[in-house]
Amino acid sequence: MINTYLKYLLHEKKYSEHTILSYKNDLLQAETFVTRIDPNLEMCDLNHKILRSWIVSLIEDKINPRSVNRKIATLRSFYKFLHSREIINDNPATKLKPLKTDKPLPEFVQKKEMDTLLDKVDFVKDFFGLRDKLILELFYGTGIRLSELINISDRSISLYDSTVKVLGKRNKERVIPLTKEIVNIINIYIAKRNELFGESRDDVLLLTDAGKKCYPMMVYRTVKKYLEHITKSSKKSPHVLRHTFATHLLDKGADLNAVKDLLGHSSLAATQVYTHNSLEKLKSVFDQAHPKA
């Protein structure tokens, strides 16, 4: 049943491989727990009591509440699928309640720190330096996800319109404007790239040092290396630059719906988390400047 469900997520729901792997790991963990209780039990035979006992065991093992909530969401989705396919008569996961968790604000890099990184750091003008600079500029200038960045092709970029087309979650396309600085870097970078590796690269924009398509860990290491020089933030990842993009836009008065569309969020609720950072900044200014504060 688990494999059938995972195929459903891949082919019908169009979930990413990373997301499907998370669902798979959660369900296999649940299956392992159930097997210890009774080797003859199947996942489709479980009731609410058994599912709840697994969740309780996770809490007792001090698993992070957010991780527990993800596993609860996995169970609810899995049994909803089984119920919709009439494989089970009753959904045993409907009564599972998520744990209460604090909602931390997204970490982001300060404006002056980003200015230092992009305007004052001396990137070497060869392929390697230009590629690293382009990776940072694209993350901060467009707010795209890591998976979206590594799949950018030459054809997805319109230098004439100064836009890039990316394929987001659930295969949803969106078009994002590019700054003049990014367009300029792309032009120079492509010339250097073609000079070094030739023009036959399966239409992939960003390449590794060996001329292959970039992979997530390589991009993550690149971002972390440069952020370590300019910020003391505990998180130094591509997603931090996505948070930084959204926060800085809202700080400058950008429309929330516009930021939602740029980020590729399916709902406004996912974007509203960035308004908290802007509100904290406003409160700080108020406390410092208002005579009655």
| Catalytic residue positions, numbered | 145, 169, 239, 242, 265, 274
User: What sign does the CA torsion over 108, 110, 111, 112 have?
Assistant: negative
Query: Which residues, at least 6 apart from 128, have a Cβ–Cβ distance to it below 8 Å?
Result: 209
**Tokens for 56?**
């309780």
Rounded to 5°, angle at Cα 154 from 108 and 227? 20
Rounded to an integer, what distance in angstroms lies between the CA atom of residue 33 and that of residue 22? 17
Long-range contacts of 271-275 (CB under 8 A, 24+ apart): 271/246, 273/103, 273/105, 273/106, 274/106, 274/243, 274/246, 274/247, 274/250, 275/250
| Residue 19 vs residues 25, 95, 116: alpha-carbon distances, Å | 10, 24, 35
By CB atoms closer than 10 A (0-12, 13-18, 19+), residue 98 is middle
19-31: b (≥16 Cβ within 10 Å) or e? ebebbbebbeebb
**Tokens for 114?**
């980003």
